[in-house]
Structure 1
Amino acid sequence: MNTDKQISCPFSQLPFSSVLSFELLIKDIERIESTANHPMKDLAKSTLIALNKVPALKKPIRNTSILNENLDLVNQLMTFVINPLRHQNSMEACTAPIGQDPFFATELLKNSLSCEHKLFEIAKGGRQDLSLISKLYQAYLLILEKFYNYKVDVDLPFTYRLTDTKEGYIKYIRKHVTSDYIQVRELKKHTKLTSEDITKLLDNTDDLEVWNEIIPLENFEFSGFIHFTLIDITQDFVISQLKTDLLDKKTIETSEGFEVLQKRMRALFDNPKLKFGMAVDADEDANMNLNLIWDTIIPRSQLKCEQYMGTIYEKAFIEKRIINTPDLTKIPQDIVIQNLLDAGIKSLAIVPLFIDEAPVGLLEFACTKPNSISMVQIKRLHDVFPTFALALKRSKEEWNDKIRAVIQDQFTAIHPTVEWRFREAVGHFLAENKNGGKSTVESIVFNDVVPIYGASDVRGSSMERNMAIRADLTEQLKHAREILDYARQIKEMPLLEDICFNIQQNIDTVQNGLKAGDEVVIIEFLTKEVNPFLQLLKERFPELNEPVTNYFNSLDPHLNVVYKKRKEFEESLTLINEEVSEIIETEQVKAQEVFPHYFEKYRTDGIEYNAYIGQSLVKRLKYSDIYLKNIRLWQLLVKVKIARRIKLLQPQLATKLDITQLILVHSNPLSIAFRQDEKKFDVAGAYNIRYEITKKRIDKALINGTNERVTQPGKIAIIYSHADEIRDYKKYIDYMIAQGFLTNNIEDVELEDLVGASGLRALRVEVDLSDLTPNQIENSEIAQVVSGS
């Protein structure tokens, strides 16, 4: 259950009765007394004799004063539950069923909780009374176990926080409950639960109203007592919380977030006086000294970045190791050490952070007492250092993005072809405002330009990506389940059954096909529940050390999940896009030499480009339709070059991907206008919007009367509306067939009507892939073909 989420609860108090009883324990003692050679036989015999003198202890105990009157006998009874040798080193206690105050506890637990300055509370839950809710869930789970033989771990997923308000120490505790001595009596005949009922319960763990409809608590009564153990999970809990914190960029970019980090560090180091600092590694650009991540122990106002050069801080980066200095007074003094000593710092540890050997930033830990920081404490954070590094790197990149955004806002990067028009408009603006005017920059519009559009899209990329995600998740879930199955052979634990059940549910979800949001939920389950539990098993059972280590070694060190198939897919997709982009970029330079035109390229799961050509885009050149013909033949030749390059590339791809290619022909000139809010050109006018709609939908268009997409690997689809638009293309195709660039396989097909675009046709040609020699695209040859047509 998610204790961060508001839980729907219909109760303000417990709706059932419970009574303290030693009945089941006494039966255990009777079995011991009758067992020959049992090491506790004599104690069992003397205990039973003493109980016969106090028969009230054999019955349900509704008045607990009898416990105080027979304290020695109660302590003797509890010897069979809690080993007296554990009293000083284990926090254990016994309470009435679903009770609150222990009637028996170990000395360590009494000392830990009895002081007024020690606060024991559920760590999460906001304003809700989770103490009541935890008892309700415990009751439900006991009923499921006793009456329906459905074992669910009663070690409820509530984490408790033990705070020493006097000293400032914080510990995080998990409560492990055993129910061996609990009886559940049915007051009213229960109905048999179906598998659908169980599923409904587990799907609504945050809604107790649903639970009470299926299992009315008022129909049951509890007797006996509960034995529980409090387990210190501070390290695992805090590290898990740290990783979650660092996913939120506000954590390291705000003072509030930094305070949260410092509190976590103090809990991990078990030192309420610990001081924590962090900083992003500065770029060569001196302005990075002003970066927002510079929360060092000595403020930036006292020590600048360059003053750390030549000190132990620089040494930590050069030697790529953690430097722990137990006593700063015993090492050579410099300006940094002196500032630290002036601030009262005596012990210091510096942790340099790297990603792929490149420095990212640092963490520092300090204390006013010498010898207060050990390497053992620092190594507790070893698993979280990579997350810190990624968080700092991300914030550094976002900082640089903000700088670029400001530059982009004030000094927009303009395509060279149309830069003259922007200079002209700004010139007018400055001239009109030099005497205090308030005019705005005039609109930038280019009329009567012909659009040119082409796309090289990776076929089935969404499906391949989904398959890769499913393969990685399945591998990780099955690997985790194998380890847990092995763990069940070593020791039976209720929580193992619950987690195994959840793992299988997630495997089924993956195999049945992921829906929106499933991937995030499963990864969160793996990282927040499965991984910490496996780490706990590794520490507890030596025979699980190697399997669990192998499991974590199989995870991506940065993402903390299996990232094999997804990595293969992303690398293959990137490789294709880089190849396509490189061809277009190279050939576009030559195309601009034919006649300057506006051009923009953008990446999706492939590469698309928009271009516009026309007289209004240029100032001192004379435009002619012959240049448009050049660009159209250039488009076709580039598509052939891309198809051949990708065919050659495919053996190198870990994930077998292919591309489809299309060209959209639109002969009617239109207008484009620069949108100041988005810093980009868009078509202007309601009629011209049809062109934009067509662009967005044609890649998925089907041939009319079929289920076949017009775009197919190895072919180029030339989409058009009118026969005269395709006349020149047919001549170019004849030339390309003669040159061995295309085969004779030519199709002229009608497309299904699209929303907002109907009456489209496509001329589909096949690239000749029998010869993969790259075709050279020469402007002179293009000009000769075009002029001859």
Structure 2
Amino acid sequence: MKENYPSESPMRFKISFNKLLEQYEDLASNADEFIAKKAKRVLETAAPYPVLREGFSDYKLLEKYKNEIQVLLQDSFSPVLTKNEIKTASIPFEDVIFNSSERFKSIVKTAGEDFELKIKNLPEDDRYISFCAIILNFYYGYSLDFKRPFYYEIPDVNGVMRYYKILYNADFTEIIPNENAPKITQQDYDELLDNFENMDMWKEKFPPNSYEFKGFVISNMFDVTDDQSISNIKSSLIGENKRKDHAFMEGFHEIFRSLLSLKDIQVGFSLYNKEEDVFERVYGAGISSFLLHDLDTSKCSDALCNWSYNRLLNEKKFFTVSNVNLMFEKTKGKIPHINTLHNQGIQSAILAPIANNDEVMGILEIISYKPQVLNSINANKLADIMPFIVSAVERSKNEEENLIEAIIQQECTSIHSSVNWRFVKEARNFIKAQAEGKSPSFNKIAFDNIYPLYGQIDIKGSSEARNKATKQDLIVQLNAVKSIIESASKLESLPIYEQLIFQVNEYLKGLENHFKVDSEQQITSFFNEDIKPFLEHLALEKSLKLEIENYYKSIDAAANVVYNHRKQYDDTVAAINKAMASLLDEKQEDAQKMYPHYFERFKTDGVEHNMYIGESITKEDSFNPIYLYNLRLWQLQVMCEMENAYYQMKSNFPLALDVASMILVFNQPLSISFRMDEKQFDVDGTYNARYEIVKKRVDKAFIKGTNERVTEKGKITIVYSQKEDEIEYLRYIKFLQSKHYLDTDVEIVELQDLQAVTGLKAIKVSVLYHISKEDKAFYTYNDLMKEIKA
């Protein structure tokens, strides 16, 4: 082994048994003859080897004097207790062990040949400073609590990691300054208290090898794997269920007082809201924030100076102020957090970020009304419990977020991410009011001066298609019932059979000539009320049993009617909606990245979507009309892509249906608010209501002077009212024509007046299609249908 291990230390290490031998010299004159005789034997063993008193740095001598050292340490390592005690003789904080109990040897042997014994929670820089702290205490007499629990992590025979706490007995050590060692003054000591991490300063005041460590330490180790002391801290941390308990917070103060061995300290917390870059108060009984003082919230830049802001929130490291009054005088009250602490009479403080790998969640605040009580040295004792504090706050944060979401779900509904911040803000106010014993209410959520966008891809002739499917199913079921009745009448001629056949024929005739809105309900009631009891009676007849069983097999169990053609229709609509909604949702992710905006969609006979964009939604001073124009162009392009996607998958659907796409342009900003009773956003005001009226009716509108609907399969219809909208969208259409999204057959038409709405116009233009994703050719709708059928 090399000399002066470790290579960088304020102390040159010498293993010496001088202090131990001095004790044996006292014992040699002991009145107890047995003790005196034993002490003399130890002294006689060491006498021929002066180096054992003088000390040595060459660790090879440990092997040379192995037998003599064992005699010297025989009392310290009692053979009676060697299989029970976990004990070593070593240099403090190092892994240079020259004597150990049998139990310690067994534990290390069990860990395996590859196991390397090393103190786990002592970084290299901390080791140097720990030696400096030893010098301050043992040589200069300062009462400096630098001690942190140190551990060995050693796997047992099953590979389970066991934790052994190390306690040092330093009775046999001496610390001697060299001639070149700088003398430490009170001013030096005061300066070091606030500079635990300033390695250059420590090395300046304690240069490497400027002191001599002479002696050795005896390390006693205890298995603390099952120790519950830190677990008690963990289980006592902030939780939603404890915020109303005054006793909890006082108990929490006591935990930290015990941890830091300081009586006059208090603990506070503040939450960090990253989204708004503010500190917020934790609402609960007895929970204070010394950083916020009497404020509920504060911008971080107002609560901290640039250095402390970067230290806590960017570097995620703690800092201390050991003398607030002195710092206040030096900075003339210009540092925000110093000023806040000073105004509360606080004399020393530790501010530590509660942070995981991803984010800072809050600030732990420990304060004292006495100077120098809290400092950068004893603050390091937080290192062992901060992971548990982080874990508890993460759990508490998740609980609070769940509570917020529960309130939002209860008071509102599922909320789009772009406006979620506004609901979270109101939910926090809701929680705050509850904590303060007030009657909480969820305030109105509204957004002003925002621009709406609306679009739909609608199944063309959906009502006719569903009516046709319904008619087909009812005809099949009526004919099946008619066949059973006719078979029954051949077995037994009864007037009731004739009456039922007449009724079935009347329904069949009605379906053939004029299908009414209530026809489905009437015929379904006929099946349930008249036919079902009749069939239950006929089922007793053996000759009819098979025919009746086949009839029931054709009936859908859930709908209780024949549900074949209608199922094809419903399945097709569901598949169309799923595919179109999925594509729209996927495209929306990209649109949100361009600029955040509110988005919602609905599945009806097709897919509708609403979008709102504006300053009040993003809560940032960043909105520009260019983002509105960009979103309008994006919407038009995505509608073309949805048309293409639909017709490429059309052949996979159970039923052949067509779709038609429409966009509604509204060029004036409006206001929307969340309707608590309807759980959705709606427009505010009489003028804005015009937009909703147009939205609900425009797709059924006719072109002026015709019976032709404004929406048409194979074409995009853009409805608007202002000339500037026409110019804007013709520009977009020209751009998309260059990219072969749209054809050249642009048509501008006027719409017949709707109720309370006049002057609407529409641009109609054909979509260009591809047969498949790989196809490079362009087709109009009619060309596409010919290709598909070919």
The TM-score normalised by the length of structure 1 is 0.45
The TM-score normalised by the length of structure 2 is 0.45
In our comparison, the structure showing a higher alpha carbon Rg is: 2
